[in-house]
Amino acid sequence: MDIVLVHGAGGRPTTWWEVEPLLAALGHRTVAVTNPLTSLEEDVAHTTAAIEEMAGPVLLAGHSYGGAVITNAGRHPAVRGLVFIAAFGPEEGETVNGIVERYEPAEISKYMRRGPNGEWKSEPSDEFWAEIGPDLSPAHRAVVEAEGRKAENAIFRQPTGKPAWQTLPSWYLVADDDRTLRPDAQRDMAARMGAITGHVPGSHYTTLVHPRRVADLIHTAATAVSGTP
C-alpha cells in the first residue's frame, strides 16, 4: 500500500529512517515528507501534495505534531486510514497548544527555546538527553541534533478543521514513558478518536527506538484498510 509518513515539530524525514526499510520489506511504497513547519495550514497543503503524487489509496502515519497534520490531510479522498505514533489528534477547532495546556507541563518544556520571531526549537544538552531521550543511541542523537529544525508558532496555534479520524479507521501507539507529549494526553486522544491502541515503553523518539513495533502497527493498519488478507 502507499504510505505517507509525516514527521513532527522540529522533525525530519530521518524520523522514519529505521521504519521505512521495514515497510518496504513488507511490500509497501512509502514517502517521508519534509514539511516546512511554517504553519499547520501550509504543512497540511504540503502533505496533501505528497498524497496526490501517490499511485493509489493512501495510509497516513504521523509522529508527534505530525498527527495534527494527518488529522487534517486525511480528509483527502485517497486516504483510507490514519496511524498516530505518540501524536496529536486534535478535535475540530482545537489547537496543538490547546491540547498541551490542558495537562501539567511535560519535561520537554524546560528545554524549549523561543526565537526572536516566536519560533520554537529544543536545546539538546547532556541533561536533555538524560531526561527526554535516555533510550536513544548516540548515533541517533547525533542525527537529531544535526537535523533539528525550528518550528514556527503558527503550527501550534492554528485550529484544526474537521478531523479525519471522525470518519476514518485510526490506530494509535502510546509511548508510555514519553516526556515530550504526556502519556496521559496520548491515551486521552486515542480514546477520544476510538483508535485501536497499542503501547510501547520508552521516550518520544518511538520511531527510532521501536521501529519494528511502529512498522508492524502501520502494516496492520495498511492490511486492514486495503482489504488484503
pLDDT in tens, 124-140: 889 999 999 999 999 99
Residue in the structure block whose three cell numbers are 499511485: 55
**Cα maximum dimension of the chain:** 53
Domain boundaries, the chain: 2-226
- The single-letter code of the amino acid at 177 is D
Cβ contact 143:111 at 8 Å: no
Q: What is the DSSP letter of 38?
A: S
Residue 164 CA to residue 155 CA, distance in Å, equals 18
| Per-residue CA distances from 228 to 29, 100, 210, 222, 224 (Å) | 15, 37, 25, 8, 7
Residue 224 CA to residue 84 CA, distance in Å, equals 15
pLDDT digits (tens, 9 = 90+) for 29-62: 999 999 999 999 999 999 999 999 998 899 999 9
| Per-residue CA distances from 141 to 108, 114, 131, 215 (Å) | 16, 21, 13, 21
What pLDDT does 116 receive?
83
Residue 7 CA to residue 219 CA, distance in Å, equals 18
What pLDDT does 55 receive?
87
Residue 141 CA to residue 131 CA, distance in Å, equals 13
What pLDDT does 57 receive?
96
Residue 18 CA to residue 204 CA, distance in Å, equals 15
What pLDDT does 13 receive?
83
Low-confidence ranges of the chain (pLDDT < 50): none
Superfamily of domain 2-226: Alpha/Beta hydrolase fold, catalytic domain (3.40.50.1820)
Give pTM, 2 decimals: 0.96
